[in-house]
Structure 1
């Protein structure tokens, strides 16, 4: 599978995801920053299947949150890092949404209010179809250190969360 490194570097610049300050702003509660804002921005993936696109997008999203986590001490005070939260959220599970672009939508999900956010989300593992599909992608990508969750407050699974660190 082609890695599309140059195309993703262009995408990250176009989406301004290379501006690290966006990941450390003190948003009121949380922010969910899309990996791509327009479908045409990922047109370089158009020849790939649904699963191939998702794997590549998830891999790039995980790489981005890993990078942000690595530089977080440069942007946050040491005591602020404990309340900093970053993960990858996957949306657009509705058939009508992903039918148009033939992939799911990854977002960088961030907050500087980790304890509050986790209490609101009540992340859990339900073994849903969506979770299992993302787990398959992670296994294929050899990203076995990641865990997959959904919100315990939602009856449907319209958003899946991929965390690098298990929740306490």
Structure 2
């Protein structure tokens, strides 16, 4: 835990509760293809960070989301204990098109049940975009998190952040 996240702990817990991100059982299954739940819905939701410079604010947001990703996987290990582990979740970082205007990035929780086939069609690229460089910087270059770029029509849509022990399935990352 970083001091910044601890400083805003109550605010982040409120955000997580408002976004149904603390209902861990509900996060474990999804009837659709995949879902992507934002850490916050409006800029007003994160006004408690307004005193921070933009990149520091982005760092706190991304690190808080990744910390919560660990909590989600801790629950998933218990939820799927004794049966096939049919769950994947990553933090995705979006909002790149608004960053030059001074708007914060939006961390999201991209979740899916692999048995539904989403990974047969998802193709990501190794980290190489300016966005993945920024996320690596925000997390700390030696953080150990796995990063991938989701490029659509030549434009960065999202940077995927995965826990080292829960990487994307083989074949998902294009060469």
Correspondence 1:106-117 to 2 at 5 A: 106-113=107-114, 116-117=117-118
Measure, in 2, the Cα distance between the counterparts of 1:44 and 1:78: 41
Measure, in 1, the Cα distance between the counterparts of 2:154 and 2:97: 14
Asked if the contact 1:91–1:106 (Cα under 8 Å) also holds between the matched residues in 2, the reply is yes
Number of residue equivalences = 163
Poorly superposed stretches of 4+, deviation over 6 Å? none
Residue 99 (structure 1) aligns with = 101
Which has a greater percent of helix? 1
User: Unmatched 5+ residue regions in structure 1?
Assistant: none
> Over the residues paired in the alignment, what is the CA RMSD in angstroms?
2.3
Call closer, same or farther: CA 1:150–1:115 in 2, change over 3 Å.
Answer: farther
For 1:34, which of 3, 24, 38 is the aligned residue? 38
**TM-score with structure 1 length normalisation?**
0.84
Call closer, same or farther: CA 1:138–1:154 in 2, change over 3 Å.
Answer: farther
- 1:126 CA drift (Å): 4.6
- 1:45 CA drift (Å): 0.6
Residue 88 (structure 1) aligns with = 91
Measure, in 2, the Cα distance between the counterparts of 1:22 and 1:33: 12
Asked if the contact 2:91–2:109 (Cα under 8 Å) also holds between the matched residues in 1, the reply is yes
1:136 matches 2:140? no
